[in-house]
């Protein structure tokens, strides 16, 4: 068995995102194509937009000031959904990496995937309601960025 095949098999066995990425159809050849209409990327946009709306609602209602905010069902459910979104962002990164296309988006999706859990942790670690609002603002910005980078028209490589 060649080293490449052995490596591919070991990755498939250790990371389910690699297997999911490999199942996606290849991108068409030619000019840059937007991935925003592909099911996975459209799902990322929808989920990120939904979570962004949740965070904005918390900010508008002052929910971050509530003493039980972090232990409430709304936040604990949000954490699960944010982790799922981060996994989808990583899957999108792996798909684009496998295709060899859209270097910027590929890197941004990986960064968002890695930053999402950190932003949620920052909300949890905030020592005061004011710090929690700042952390929620940063999380809101990241979720907004997740939508905008996928829906932006693709640019030719330079």
Q: Is the pLDDT of residue 154 over 90?
A: no
Contact 113, 82 (CB under 8 A): no
pLDDT 10s digits, 44-98:
999 999 999 999 999 999 988 888 999 999 999 999 999 999 999 999 999 999 9
Could you please report the per-residue DSSP string of 25-85?
Answer: PPPPSSS----TTSHHHHHHHHHHHHHHHHHHHHHHHTGGGSTTGGGSHHHHHHHHHHHHH
**pLDDT given for residue 140 in this prediction:** 98
Q: How confident is the model at residue 5 (pLDDT cuts 50, 70, 90)?
A: low
- Mean pLDDT score, 128-147: 96
DSSP-assigned letter for residue 157: -
Domains of the chain: 39-151 (1.20.120)
């Amino acid at each position: 068995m060649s080293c490449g095949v052995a490596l591919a098999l070991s990755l498939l066995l250790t990371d389910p995102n690699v297997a999911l990425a490999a199942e996606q159809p290849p991108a068409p050849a030619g000019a840059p194509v937007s991935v925003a209409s592909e099911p996975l990327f459209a799902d990322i946009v929808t989920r990120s937009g939904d979570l962004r709306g949740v965070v904005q609602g918390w900010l508008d209602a002052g929910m971050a000031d509530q003493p039980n905010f972090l232990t409430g069902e709304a936040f604990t459910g949000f954490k699960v959904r944010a982790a799922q979104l981060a996994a989808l962002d990583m899957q999108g990164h792996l798909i684009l990496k496998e295709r060899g296309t859209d270097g910027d988006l590929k890197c941004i999706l990986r960064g968002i995937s890695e930053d999402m859990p950190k932003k949620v942790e920052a909300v949890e670690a905030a020592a005061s309601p004011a710090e929690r609002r700042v952390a929620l603002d940063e999380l809101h910005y990241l979720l907004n960025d997740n939508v905008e980078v996928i829906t932006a028209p693709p640019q030719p490589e330079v």
